[in-house]
Structure 1
């Protein structure tokens, strides 16, 4: 197809469509591969960049299930279980003033 555009399937990471003018066709990636929405081709998922295959920033690809799941925090990032630092108390406006 001339001037074709490859578009990832929003519901299945292993599929994509090729669109050209008024025509489109669906394709499947080979077994064990997913469609890379950045490179616009099928390939084996890269373990160090699993977030690139999912449309939501808080998800990453689970290679075993071949679907997007909630992203795990990286080792150098604080987890949500750690308490946040308490904000310093600011003096109240007008404190210590008398009329």
Structure 2
């Protein structure tokens, strides 16, 4: 998995919610290539990928947005479309100033 400077993916399992921390240089920055991150998505787990527009606020620290996402995503709907829509409704700012994308993947 490569992040290219994006925020870490969120992994939701029956054990809880964890960010898959993987620091890497921004895309296009010349630096030593980081080691690959490989993992197996556990059965029943949900992986959430998102852009910063979902959680960034001009008047709040990025860590507040990450905590809010983890709290909101802790309860995963059976329907991933509904789950993704709930994340957008609950987390997106009233006035959107950035692009927002959410991708949720579940292993059965």
TM class, shorter-length: under 0.3
Q: Higher strand proportion, which one?
A: 1
What TM-score does the superposition give when structure 1 sets the normalisation length? 0.25
Q: Higher helix proportion, which one?
A: 2
Question: Per chain length, whose mean CA-contact separation is higher, i.e. which structure has more relative contact order (CA < 8 Å, sep 6+)?
Answer: 2
What TM-score does the superposition give when structure 2 sets the normalisation length? 0.23
